[in-house]
A and B are shown apart, each in its own frame.
Chain A
Amino acid sequence: MFPFSFEWIWDMSHMVFHGGLWYALSIIGLGMTYCILKSVVDTVQGKGGDGHH
C-alpha cells in the first residue's frame, strides 16, 4: 500500500492500481478536510443557522 512496504513494486500494474487508489483517497480526504475547515471558518464567522430557533 505504501512505497516502503515489502510488496510495493514500481511497475505498471502497481502504479495504475495505487494511482487510482490514492487518487480516490485524496479526493475523499481533501474533500472532507475542505468541508470541515470551511465549516469551522463559517462557524467562527457566524454564518449558518443561529442554532436557536
Chain B
Amino acid sequence: MDTALIPEGRKRCPLWQFVLFIAVVGAVLLWGVYAMILCWLKGLNQTNMNNAYGFALWIWADLAVIALGGGAFFSGFLKYIIGKDELKNLINYAVIIGFICYSSALLILAIDIGQPLRGWFIFWHANVHSMLTEVAFCLSCYFAVLTIEFIPLILENRQIDKVRFFHNLSHNMHHIMAVFAATGAFLSFFHQGSLGGVAGVLFARPFGFREGVLIWPWTFFLFTWSAAACGPCFTILITKITEKVTRKKLVKDNVIELLAKISGWMLLTYIVAKIIDTWYWAVVTAPEAGFTMMDFYSNNPLYGLWILFLEIVLGGIVPALILITPAGRKNKATLLLATVLAVIGVCVNRWVMVLQVLAVPVMPFESWFMYAPSWQEVATTILPLAYGAILIAIAHRYLPIFPQEPELNPVEQQAG
C-alpha cells in the first residue's frame, strides 16, 4: 500500500522511519489537541490572557503564520501574473506551506474566540468597518483558494490520478489556476493588509495607531509588503530544511536564487518604508498623542530599543542586503542566515504589533502590562507546527511536489 502510493521515480525513506517520525510529531500534536479541547470545554480561563491582554500569544502566532504563509500568494503572483515560470518548481511547496499556515491560522482563531459556536457571526452579522471582518472574510476566501490550489496536487497522487474523473479534474483545475491565483493574490493583498490594519486603526492605542490613506493605515500596506517579502524567505527556509531532512536536493539553485533575489528587493524596499513609517510615527504621530518614542521602550522588563534593532536592522536591513547581493544569496550559509533573519524580523514585527500594543500603558496612571502564556497557549501554538510537519511529511512522501526532484535525484532502479 505504502509503496503503491509513493510517486513514481522518487525515493522515499523506509516506512518505519516515516511512521516513527509521524508518531513522535503526532504525540506533540496530541498534546496540542488536548490543550485545544481544554480551551473549548473549559473556556479561555485556561490561558493567561486577561482583560488588559485580550490578544496574546495566539494572535501573534496567527499573524506570524499568515505572514510566513505569504510565500504562497506572492509566488503565485510571480508565477501566474508576472510570469516567472521557473517558480513552478517551487510553487507547489509554497502552496502547501501556505495551506498549512492558513489552516493553522483559522484553527487558532477558532480556539481564540470566547464563543466558538457563534464564530460564524463574523460572517453573518459582519461589520464591514472592522478590520477583523475583513481579515475573516479574506482569510477564509483565500484559504478556499489555497485549498483549490492544493487539490490538484493531491489528485496527482499515483493512485488517485488513476481515477479518470480526478485526473480530469486535476487537469482542468491546473488549466485555470491562474484565475484562482489572481483571485488569491487579490484576497491576500487585502487580508495581509487588514491584519496590519488590526492594530493600525486603533486610534486610542498610540503604539499601534498609524495614519494612512482612506480607511487604510500605513501598517496595512507594510504588512502586505512584509508578508510578500518574508513569506518567500520562509518558503525557501522550509525547502532548505526539507532538503536537509530528506537528504536530497529538491529544487535547483537558480529557482531558489531567483526567489531570494526578488525577496531581497522586496525586503529592502519594505524596510525603507518601515523606517520612514517608524520615523514619522516617532516624530509626529506619537507626540501628538503625548508620547515620546522612548515612552514605548522604557520602564518595563522586556520592551527596549533592542526590539526595534532586532526587527529593523537584524531582521530587515541585514537579510535584505544579503539577498540582493548575488554572492550573498549564492552562498548557502548566508542565504540560510538571511532567510532565518527575515523570518525572525517579520515575526518580531507581528509580535510588536500585537503584544507590545497592549503592553504599553495608555492612561498615565497605569504601568506596563506584562504577560506570559500558559502551557495551554504554548501547546496550542505548537500544535500547528506539529500539524504542519506531519502534513509536509505525508505530502512529500506521497505527492510529486517537487517537479525537479527526479531530475536532481535520479533513481537507478525503479522500485517495484
Q: A28-B144, A28-B180 are in contact. Are A49 and B123 (CB under 8 A)?
A: no
How far is it, in angstroms, between the C-alpha of A15 and the C-alpha of B145 when the chains are bound?
A: 23
- B187 near A24 with CB under 8 A, answer yes
User: Which residues of chain B come closer than 8 Å to A14, judged between CB atoms?
Assistant: 128
Shortest CB distance B4–A (Å) = 12
Which of the residues B126, B127, B164, B190 comes within 8 Å of A51, measured between beta carbons? B164
- B123 near A32 with CB under 8 A, answer no
Which of the residues B128, B144, B163 comes within 8 Å of A17, measured between beta carbons? B128
- B172 near A42 with CB under 8 A, answer yes
- B180 near A48 with CB under 8 A, answer no
**B171 near A: Cβ within 8 Å?**
yes
- A27 near B183 with CB under 8 A, answer yes
Among B150-170, those with CB < 8 Å from A are 161-169
How far is it, in angstroms, between the C-alpha of A47 and the C-alpha of B175 when the chains are bound?
A: 15
**B377 near A: Cβ within 8 Å?**
no
- A31 near B167 with CB under 8 A, answer no
Which of the residues A5, A24, A35, A53 comes within 8 Å of B169, measured between beta carbons? A35
Shortest CB distance A23–B (Å) = 9
**B16 near A: Cβ within 8 Å?**
no
CB-CB nearest in chain B for A16: B128
User: Which residues of chain B come closer than 8 Å to A17, judged between CB atoms?
Assistant: 128, 134
User: Which residues of chain A come closer than 8 Å to B134, judged between CB atoms?
Assistant: 17
User: Which residues of chain A come closer than 8 Å to B190, judged between CB atoms?
Assistant: 20
**B125 near A: Cβ within 8 Å?**
yes
- A50 near B145 with CB under 8 A, answer no
- A48 near B164 with CB under 8 A, answer yes
Among B210-251, those with CB < 8 Å from A are 215
Annotate B162-196 by CB proximity to A: 1 below 8 A, 0 otherwise. Answer: 11111111011100100110010011001000000
User: Which residues of chain B come closer than 8 Å to A25, judged between CB atoms?
Assistant: 141
- B137 near A21 with CB under 8 A, answer yes
- B128 near A36 with CB under 8 A, answer no
**B124 near A: Cβ within 8 Å?**
yes
Which of the residues B126, B172, B183 comes within 8 Å of A35, measured between beta carbons? B172
- B141 near A24 with CB under 8 A, answer yes
CB-CB nearest in chain A for B120: A1
Q: A5-B125, A6-B125 are in contact. Are A40 and B165 (CB under 8 A)?
A: yes
How far is it, in angstroms, between the C-alpha of A31 and the C-alpha of B175 when the chains are bound?
A: 11
- The interface residues of chain A, by DSSP majority, are classed as helix
**B129 near A: Cβ within 8 Å?**
yes
- A49 near B176 with CB under 8 A, answer no
How far is it, in angstroms, between the C-alpha of A27 and the C-alpha of B142 when the chains are bound?
A: 12
Q: A6-B125, A13-B128 are in contact. Are A49 and B172 (CB under 8 A)?
A: no
Shortest CB distance B363–A (Å) = 31
- B165 near A43 with CB under 8 A, answer yes
- B126 near A39 with CB under 8 A, answer no
- A42 near B141 with CB under 8 A, answer no
- A28 near B183 with CB under 8 A, answer yes
How far is it, in angstroms, between the C-alpha of A36 and the C-alpha of B169 when the chains are bound?
A: 6
Q: A35-B176, A38-B172 are in contact. Are A7 and B167 (CB under 8 A)?
A: no
- A28 near B141 with CB under 8 A, answer yes
User: Which residues of chain A come closer than 8 Å to B215, judged between CB atoms?
Assistant: 13
- B176 near A34 with CB under 8 A, answer yes
Shortest CB distance A6–B (Å) = 7
Tell which of B129, B162, B168, B169 has the most Cβ of chain A within 10 Å.
B168
Residues of chain B touching chain A, judged by Cβ–Cβ distance below 8 Å, are 123-129, 134, 137, 141, 144-145, 148, 161-169, 171-173, 176, 179-180, 183, 186-187, 190, 215
Task: Name 8 extra pairs, CB < 8 A, besides A7-B125, A35-B173, A39-B171.
Answer: A1-B123, A6-B125, A21-B141, A24-B141, A24-B183, A27-B183, A31-B179, A32-B148
Q: Can you list 17 contacts pairing A with B, beta carbon distance less than 8 Å?
A: A1-B123, A20-B186, A24-B141, A24-B186, A28-B180, A28-B183, A32-B148, A35-B172, A40-B165, A42-B168, A42-B171, A42-B172, A48-B167, A48-B168, A49-B162, A49-B164, A51-B164
